[in-house]
Amino acid sequence: MVPIQQRHVNLKEYAKTGLWVGGAITLIAVLLSGVALSPALSSTTFCVSCHEMESPFAEYRASVHFKSATGVRAECSSCHIPQSIGLKLVAKVDALRHVYGHLMGSLDTDEKYEGARLRMAERVWSKMEANDSRECRVCHKEDAFSFESFRNHSEGQRMAQGLEEGDTCIDCHKGLVHTMPDRKTGYKKLLAELEAVSADPDIDADVIYPLQTVVSYTGREGEREARILAATPLIVLDNTGKWLRVRVEGWQQDNIDAMIYELQGKRIFAVALDKKARGKPFVHSTMLDPDTEQTWHQVSYETWVTNEHMVEDKAALWSYGAQLHGASCGSCHKAVPGGHFLANQWIGVMKDMKRNIRHLTKEQYRFLQKYLQLNAKDVQLSSH
């Protein structure tokens, strides 16, 4: 047994050692913080010292953030490093991954850099959306804008309205300093992944979704009777491998038997029926819409489809829709969310914007319209 006096001596030694160790750790932390917070490590010269920064530095030098009529210049740190000490330290620690990437050669060629441009841009955009474009607002004070002084008066009005509605700077000012990435690569990658899954189908779900418009048949090896549009929920009734008997539940407007819509009163296309199948949907109930005084029938339609172009994961399908929306509608301005318009209004909005989204195929156009309609204001409200 250790004598009590000896134990007291040991405890004092442990305490003394602990103080030395704690003091050393604190000193190192202070020194490292001082180094991290050094203005030299936040300078543009330091930021562009790695060869990976050659392209973004050239883009920056060609922007109004580098040279303008007023002579005001924003440095790299102005946009990418927070002003407060705590957040600045966090950003410096996070930046260590860039050092690792540099040592590993993650972006050591133009091809690698361009391949990562969209991913890097989306990461920055997400941060700026989350912090309400905090770094932008250090220089650009919302109450200091003179919207009536804008060269294009309509732009000033649009910006004032956007800020009033809660939009943030990065919503509309992507690509202001650095080259806008090809946002089509995002949805094309997701589409390729979905196509790969649907090309090797092993259906094991109760509900599936066509990735594109598919043909339905009177039976196995039967005749064509309709076209089912992408993203329409299909309830699987019978699965024989290649052939699936499915049911579509939806609505038909009175005296319009060529189309089944997904929701009552909303022109969200689900099934386009050939003439021979127009009497096939089974009517479960009938109602009069008090707002439009139109008669609607709740129906179900059973048919046969093949297992090609089918997706089981609805979340993955909607991720593709979100990417398609952002890439197609977010390049010129903020991508207007689905909930901004009613489901039926989106048809006209899409027609008006069709000239600006010519890169979309017909299938992609239809899918985007349906994605926006199913996220429309009146659909969101009814789902609650």
Q: Are 296 and 257 in contact (CB under 8 A)?
A: no
What is the average pLDDT across 154-163? 83
pLDDT at 245 over 90: yes
Q: Are strands 224-228 and 266-273 parallel, antiparallel or unpaired?
A: antiparallel
Q: Are 248 and 207 in contact (CB under 8 A)?
A: no
pLDDT tens per residue across span 326-368: 888 876 666 788 888 999 999 999 998 888 777 889 999 999 9
Quote the percentage of the chain above a pLDDT of 70.
Answer: 88
Classify residue 71 as left (phi > 0), alpha (psi -120 to 50) or beta: left
Mean pLDDT over each residue of the chain, to the nearest integer: 86
273 or 116: whose pLDDT is higher? 273
Band of pLDDT at residue 384, cut at 50, 70 and 90:
very low
Chain centroid to CA 279: 41
- Give the span between the Cα atoms of 310 and 197, in whole angstroms: 8
Backbone Cα Rg of the chain: 29
**CA quadruple 150, 155, 157, 159: dihedral positive or negative?**
negative
- Give the span between the Cα atoms of 255 and 191, in whole angstroms: 37
pLDDT tens per residue across span 198-208: 887 788 889 99
- Give the span between the Cα atoms of 236 and 304, in whole angstroms: 10
Q: Are 291 and 342 in contact (CB under 8 A)?
A: no
Q: Are 226 and 277 in contact (CB under 8 A)?
A: yes
- Give the span between the Cα atoms of 29 and 199, in whole angstroms: 55
Q: CATH code for 41-172?
A: 1.10.3820
* pLDDT of the residue at 167: 86
Chain centroid to CA 17: 53
- Give the span between the Cα atoms of 128 and 169, in whole angstroms: 8
Instruction: Give the range with max mean pLDDT: 7-11, 16-20, 171-175.
Output: 171-175
> pTM value?
0.70
51, 78, 146, 326 from 54: Cα distances, Å: 6, 18, 35, 28
Q: Which of 65-79, 172-186, 210-224, 227-241 has the lowest mean pLDDT?
A: 172-186
Amino acid at 207: V
- Give the span between the Cα atoms of 179 and 63, in whole angstroms: 10
